[in-house]
Amino acid sequence: MGVSGAVGTGVRTGSRAHDDRDGWGAWDDGPLGRWERVLDGVRAYRMIAGMWIRSTMAYRVSFVMTTIGNLTATGLDFLAIVLMFSRIDRLGGYSLPEIAFLYGLSAISFGTADLVVGSMDRLGRRVRDGTLDTLLVRPAPVLAQVAADRFALRRLGRITQGLAVLGYALLTLDDVHWTILKVLLVPVTVISGGAIFCAVFVGGAAFQFVARDASEVQNAFTYGGATLLQYPPGLFARDLVRGVTFVLPLAFVNWLPALYVLGRPYPLDLPEWVAFLPPLVAAGCCALAGLAWRAGLRSYRSTGS
């Protein structure tokens, strides 16, 4: 049976061989079976990413240059903010260290997601040209294959820049009364924010199964969302703040926990305890993204190429 025949059988009839590759437990084999599929996906991702890393490190000078270029390009975003503060004392009522704190949390979270699953925005191209068919017949979860495809180690530059800005913020925030709870909230926020952005990447990729040419729409929520979160919520319309809080919960990436750390009032008169919800929000977003991915993969029809 050819590639198109195998893919057509797997997708159109909903065969177990195809569903097992979605990486999200399409069949109810119990917790043990689902956990084994997750481990299979992690192993496949590690192997594919490792292959791309070895390929990258074969040209070490090129890797160093591209990483520095990535670091410089992302650093220009924060440089623009610094130049802005050369003319003003506060932006939306926030000082430069406070803006840097928001920026650092957002940059690290987004940079982590971009490093791990940033290749998901290429899915629409694979659907259009039929190269997704080849992934469906391989004995590995499709999600792991797409996420690890062309794993770009140079994206560490964005994370490095975010860490530098966050370090600057932590050293210069004079008005923050640090407690153990606030200290622990910082790494929890970064990890949860990275998971939320990963869910947005996966959900956007699932949408491309239907739209097929929606990478820019996905980028509006990923790259655009990361840029939005670099600034305090008071600068934006209330409807936009509501949208990124209750519809696409990007506010939990940094705004809500950061405002608790900074001792700032919450937007939309939200209660103080919402600052501790990022892990739960991240888990919910990942679950929804998994359902969307599985639904999109099941709806895929081979190009026959």
Q: Domains of the chain: which residue ranges?
A: 3-299
What integer is the mean pLDDT of 55-75? 88
What integer is the mean pLDDT of 142-158? 90
pTM for this entry: 0.86
What integer is the mean pLDDT of 157-177? 93
Q: Using the structure block, give the residue that is written with the tokens 């979860």.
A: 141
pLDDT in tens, 100-140: 999 999 999 999 999 999 889 888 888 888 888 888 888 88
Q: Residue 299 carries which side chain, given as an amino acid letter?
A: S
pLDDT in tens, 222-281: 999 999 999 999 899 999 999 999 999 999 999 999 999 999 988 888 999 999 999 999
